Amino acid sequence: MRGLLSFLRRNPLAAIGAALLLLILLAVGLAPLWSLLWPLPSPIAIDIQAKLAPPGAAHWLGTDYFGRDVLARLLHGGQATLAIGLGVVALAFCAGVPFGLLAGYAGGWADLVMMRVVDAMLSFPALVLAIALAAAFGPSLGNAMLAVSITLAPQFARVARAQAQSIAARPYVEAAIALGVRPPRLLLRYILRNGIGPLLVQASLALGSAILQTASLGFLGLGAQPPWPEWGADVSANLAYLRGAPWVVLAPGLAILLAVLSFNLIGDALAEWFNPRRRNAR
């Protein structure tokens, strides 16, 4: 752990990513508290007289077509967007990892069949598969999340399989088998626990793509439905006002960029941390 901290110190980009994430989490997570400090309007409070007001003292980031405060929507929408990212990755992790561990540990036919399924799912551009699934399930936030997690799960399966294959050959696993440890316990306590590193890297990188893809689905009208704030849906809902009132589009758009960037900075550094070959190369 101390090694990781000193690595962060030597790796300014990772530190920037962590700081950025912390900032976003503070701003977004404490959104309800901020309204106690200064009057932050409700994200769905309509004020037609103030519609499309430019950023100013009353509305720091301006207002949208319905006179709703952009900053309020940004902070509340961020809760949705970040929760979506976490939820999607958790779903993908829980679906992909057991599948991959089993395939890598069992080997043989089971492995062959499972990996062909994974190959087939990876044969679609992720966004296209997510669009097709979300369209088939019907447009709602829950369905969009489900669709994105289905497209992310194969990557987790791949990484988990590679981990299971390399760890299953180690002496301590053989020893555990000889001692009569049952497969479920073996997979969970011995293989998953020792192979968790690359899976965490994958999760951190997947968080970025989960947010990006759910936002893209929202942009295409397949994600969160109005009036509730969500960054991707907010970009798409305000497209028509891009020329006259760019803030209504740029604020949620840039928020997505910053959030995804922070996860990618962290994931990138973690990948380097868990890959000794690259760690030494620097």
Partner 1 sequence: MARYLAWRLAALLPVLALVLVIVFTLSRLIPGDPATTLLGPGATSAQIAALRAQLHLDEAPLLQFTAYLGGLAQGDLGRSLKSGAPVLEEILLRLPATLELSLLALLLALLAGIPIGVWSAVRANSGFDHAVRVVSLAGVSMPAFLFALLLQLVFGVWLGWLPVSGRASPFFLTEPVTGFAILDALLEGDGEAALDAFLHLLLPTTVLAAFLAATLGRFVRNAMLEVLGDDFVRTARAKGLREGAVVFRHALRNALLPALTIVGLKFAEMLGGAVLTETVFAWPGIGRYMFDAIRNRDYPVIQGTTLVFALIFLLTALLVDLLSAWLDPRLRRGMR
Size of the site for partner 1 (CB under 8 A): 51
CB of 197 to partner 1, least distance (A): 19
Q: 3-state DSSP call for residue 274?
A: helix
Instruction: Please tell me whether residue 96 binds partner 1 under the rule CB under 8 A.
Output: no
Q: How far is the CB of 53 from partner 1 (least distance, A)?
A: 19
Q: Which amino acid is at 5?
A: L
Give me the torsion for CA of 41, 28, 94, 170, rounded to 10°: 180
**Rounded distance between C-alpha atoms, residue 176 and residue 1, angstroms:** 27
Contacting range for partner 1; rule: CB under 8 A; set: 21-29, 47-55, 58-66, 251-259: 251-259
CB atoms within 10 A of CB 216: 22
240 binds partner 1 (CB under 8 A): no
Given the structure tokens 């969500």, which residue do they identify? 230
Applying CB under 8 A, the span of 32-40, 58-66, 179-187, 241-249 interacting with partner 1 comes to 241-249
Q: Does 27 bind partner 1 (CB under 8 A)?
A: no
How far, in Å, CA of 234 to CA of 215, rounded?
Answer: 9
C-beta of 63 vs 236, nearer to partner 1:
236
Among 2, 123, 178, 180, binds partner 1 (CB under 8 A): 123
Residue span binding partner 1 (CB under 8 A) among the ranges 84-92, 94-102, 163-171, 253-261: 253-261
242 is a site residue for partner 1 (CB under 8 A): yes
Biggest alpha carbon–alpha carbon distance for the chain: 76
Q: In the structure encoding, which two tokens stand for residue 84, read together?
A: 């979506």
Binding residue for partner 1 (CB under 8 A) from 212, 224, 237, 270?
Answer: 212
Q: Among 121, 176, 177, 200, which residue interacts with partner 1 (rule: CB under 8 A)?
A: 121
Candidate residues 31, 103, 131, 164; the one interacting with partner 1 per rule CB under 8 A:
131
Q: Is 74 among the residues that bind partner 1 (CB under 8 A)?
A: no
Convert 175-243 into a string of H (helix), E (strand) and C (coil): HHHHCCCCHHHHHHHHHHHHCHHHHHHHHHHHHHHHHHHHHHHHHCCCCCCCCCCCHHHHHHHCHHHCC
Q: How far apart are CA 178 and CA 242, in angstroms?
A: 66
**CA 35: distance to chain centroid?**
27
Mention every residue, 6+ apart, whose C-beta is less than 8 A from residue 32: none
Q: What is the DSSP letter of 48?
A: G
- Is 228 a binding residue for partner 1 by CB under 8 A? The answer is no
Q: Decide if residue 266 touches partner 1 (CB under 8 A).
A: no
Which range in 47-55, 78-86, 100-108, 262-270 contacts partner 1 by CB under 8 A? Answer: 262-270
Site residues, partner 1 (CB under 8 A) = 13, 116-117, 119-121, 123-129, 131-133, 135-138, 208, 212, 215-216, 219-222, 232, 235-236, 239, 242-243, 246, 249-250, 253-254, 256-257, 260-261, 263-265, 268, 277-278, 281-282
